[in-house]
Structure formats: structure tokens, C-alpha cells
Amino acid sequence: MSEESDQNLNPNEEHKHTITPINGLYENWFLDYASYVILDRAVPHIHDGLKPVQRRIMHSLKEMDDGRFNKAANVIGNTMKYHPHGDASIGDAMVQIGQKDLLIDMQGNWGDPITGDSAAAPRYIEARLSKFANEVVFNPDTTEWQLSYDGRNNEPITLPVKFPLLLAQGAEGIAVGLATKVMPHNFIELLDASIDSLKGVRPNILPDFFTGGAADFSNYNEGQRGGKIRVRAKITEKDKKTLVITEVPYSTTTSSIIDSILAANDKGKIKIKKIEDSTAAHVEIIVHLAPGISPDVTIDALYAFTACEVSISPNTCIIQGDKPHFMSVNDILIENTKHTKSLLKKELEIRLHELQEKIFFSSLLKIFIQEGMYKNPEYENSANFDTVVEVLHLLFDPFKPSLYREILPEDFKKLIDKPMSSITRFDVKKADEQMKNLEDEIKVVKNHLKHLTDYAIAWFQKLKDKYSKGRERKTEIRLFDRVEASKVALANVKLYMNREDGFIGTGLRKDEFIADCSDIDEVIVFREDGKC
């Protein structure tokens, strides 16, 4: 066998895969996965306040928007063109957006986050964009686009939201190695704080929960890691035997509140006769006390031993510049306000360009008709478009200094495409009036650009005037006294002692009874020699 044939025995020898250790593969795969979960799943972007699935739902709703309600199932199906993770995650995210009652108008049973009731199936509920969303969230001219996951469609990188949406809605997400928990804030207070920020005053915003209740924000730490919020239900004394809970803490439901009260009663922490859930349009949990039990002590015990008081640890993490960042809510508001101002500037610049183009072409058309250029023999006898351009350039030469930009061939194309009927019916007076209106609007736009801060302040004020009805603060800001569990705990166990063997406890029922106590009391025993 020849040397050449020997070399061809294994023609794929040189194409063998490079051997990579398994630990190296897992390291790379883990980093890719972690980066994907952080950037594309769990953490919202600072500019529009949305996670990718939420952004795709909003884009899909805008794409389908005709002013009428759409079946949620149809919206989910359309969103799957942009979101590769299935209909369940899209449906859950859509319900969460709807329940926040800002971006989506809802029809049907969308569930109730206060009672914990889930929404009906997507085929039974409908949605459309709210007026607020249409005005504040979208503008295709200022949106940056990218290809969808399969390359078939374009989707927004971020939506051009002109409002601190992240702080209004809040956000929660768990990624690899980090988590985010942004508290929702009050709509009106955010707009006021944005105006203050534009005036050079540093904002100081505090959360506001749709569930109401009262909250102690003394350790809020501007929403950063290490901060803590204490939130309490609103409990009132109806009479000496009855308490009524009318507002629940954020992150709880009426069901979880009732379960925690029953559990505390079973453990002897509190003593109640019965509990009724009369919640309908508003929360109403009625707690009937056992005979001889103090309502005031029971209220403190409810805060100490049940979900009527919860502690929430915020952790404000956002995506900025394709990286996760930990920021205070006040710094996020300042950044959102700056971003809104820059978007308003872009919109004004785009509008100015549109107006200038309109007045430019109107001027061209007026000159073209008034000077009778369309009757010029050289123009009429031009053999091709290039010749037409040359002739028109010569004819327009005396008028070029009065135009705001150079005349391009496509401008001439628009002129010669004008039908003769519109040329013969041209009304000079009407054209002058339209141009005057355009010039007046240009002056207004230029004035807004010159005084951009005032224009941005007016924008936030307009949103406040237009959409703030019914969005007053729901959560009362308070400083709570610490409830000492040992002082409100009921004596729910009996203490016994076996003197002979030296034992003491609650299970020695055949031995000497010492006292009634609670299961969190501390027992101190003194011996004859004075030691304890």
C-alpha cells in the first residue's frame, strides 16, 4: 500500500474535536446561563422598568391595538413570536401587569391579589392598552429595535417610557446569584418627586402599597440591601368582643392572614372564639374574641404572632448598560427623570424636523407653481429624470438661499409626481396660511427645546392632572413601637417541678404545679446556696 493511501485511511483525523475538560464546559455553560437569567429573565431595565417578558407583552398589545379588547389568549399567542419560554410564563406576567391597574384595561375575572384568588383562564379574560400606556409608553420613532429570538420579527430593546414606571409598579425577580425586590411607590408622589428633581431638589420617596395598611419606613435605606420595612394590617376595635381587619400588609392575602391567626390560636398565643371572612369589594376579616380577653392586648398579640405584621427586605437591583446594578430608589428616580427629559428632547427634535420638511416642500411647491416651472419648455421636453433634475436645479437657483436645506433629487421627484389637477387647483392664499401655521408651530417647538426643563416639568404636571384621580396614598406612614412578645403572650402552658429529681418543665403533669406561663417565658431557678 502506498504512503498516500496510508494517509487516507483516516481522512477525518485532522478534524477531530478538541478535547475540553468537563469542568471547563460546565464553567462556561453556567456563566452563559447566569448572564441570560439576569439580563433576559428576572431583572427589570432601569429605563422602562420592565422585564423582557413584560416588554414583549406590551409590544404585542400595541401591535394588536385597535381600541377594542383582545382575548388574553390571543395576546399570549402573539407574544410568543417574541418570547421563547411558553404561554404559561406570558399569561402569569400579563395577569400581574393587569392587576397593577396602570398599563392594561381589563375585562373579565383577572383575580384578586388581596384575597389570593387567581385569574380565569386566558380564553375567558380580555385586555387592551390603557390610555396612560398609549400616551406614555410607546413611540416607534424613539424606540431602539432588535431582532426577535428567531430573527423573524423586530422587538424593542427597551420601550421609550416617559415616567418612572419601575418605581410605580415595583418588581420582584430571582436570578443566579442575585435577586431584586423593588417596592411600588405612589403615582402622584413619583410625579411630584420628578418635578422636584428637575428643579434640583433631591427626591426622598417612600413605598405605597395597594393593600393599604400602615408601614414603618425608618429603616428603608432608600430601598437598598440591608433595609427593612415593617408593614401592619389595619385593625380596629368594633366592640369589646370584636376586632375588624380592613386592610392587610403588602405581600400577604386575606387567606394567609386568617391561616396565621388560626395557627396562633391553636398554639395558644391568642384566644379567639371564631373568625369570619366577609371580604367582598373591600377587606373585612372579623375576629370574635374569647370571653374575658382584652381587645388591646389581642391587637398587639396579632402583630406579634401572626401575619398582621410582616417585615419586608427590599433589594433594588436593575439592569443598566447591560449589567446589573444596585441603586437606591431615589437615584433610580433621578435617572428616570433624566431619561424622560432626553426622550422628550428627541420627540421635539423629530417634530421640528417634520415641520421643517413640511414647510420646505410647501415652499418648493409654491415656487414651482407660481413661477410656472411646470410650463417651462426645457422642463416639458426633458427626456429623462436626470435631465429634469438639471433643469429644475437651474430654475430654482435664485430661490435656494431662502430654503433651509439643499434640494435633493428625491424632492424633485415628489414635485413631478404631483398630478396636474392639484397643480391647477393650487390655492396660494391657503398655502400661505398653512405655511404660517407651520412656522408658528416651529417657533413653539424651538421654544420648548430652548426651555427643555420647563417643558419636562409641564409634561409631569400634565400626567398628574390627567391620571392621578383615585391614586392617592393608601399606606399610612408611621413609626411603630416594638411589640414585646413576652408581654402580650397568653399563659398557654402550665409549669411543673419535680423537686426530688431536680426537673422542671411543662410536661411533668404528675408533679408539683408551679404557675401558668407562656411557652416563651424564661424561668429562673434559685438554689439554696443562692446560685441560679
Give CA 324 to chain center in angstroms: 16
Say if residues 56 and 156 touch (Cβ distance below 8 Å). no
Contacts of 192 (CB under 8 A, 6+ apart): 464
3-state helix/strand/coil string of 243-257: EEEEECCCCCCHHHH
Q: What gap in Å lies between CA 129 and CA 63, rounded to an integer?
A: 10
Q: Is 124 a catalytic residue?
A: yes
3-state helix/strand/coil string of 336-404: HHHHHHHHHHHHHHHHHHHHHHHHHHHHHHHHHHHCCHHHCHHHHCCCCHHHHHHHHHHHHHHHHHHCC
Q: What gap in Å lies between CA 89 and CA 80, rounded to an integer?
A: 10
Residue (of 318, 313, 295) closest to 251 by Cα position: 313
The kind and range of the H/E element at 264 are helix 254-266
Residue (of 474, 51, 95, 60) closest to 248 by Cα position: 474
Which of 26, 124, 250, 455 is catalytic? The answer is 124
Say if residues 220 and 475 touch (Cβ distance below 8 Å). no
What cell was used for 394? 437651474
- What's the length of the chain? 532
Please count the other Cβ atoms lying within 10 Å of the Cβ belonging to residue 151. 7
What cell was used for 276? 369570619
Contacts of 252 (CB under 8 A, 6+ apart): 211, 233, 307, 310
Say if residues 215 and 231 touch (Cβ distance below 8 Å). yes
Q: Are strands 476-477 and 214-219 parallel, antiparallel or unpaired?
A: parallel
Please count the other Cβ atoms lying within 10 Å of the Cβ belonging to residue 242. 15
Active site residues: 124
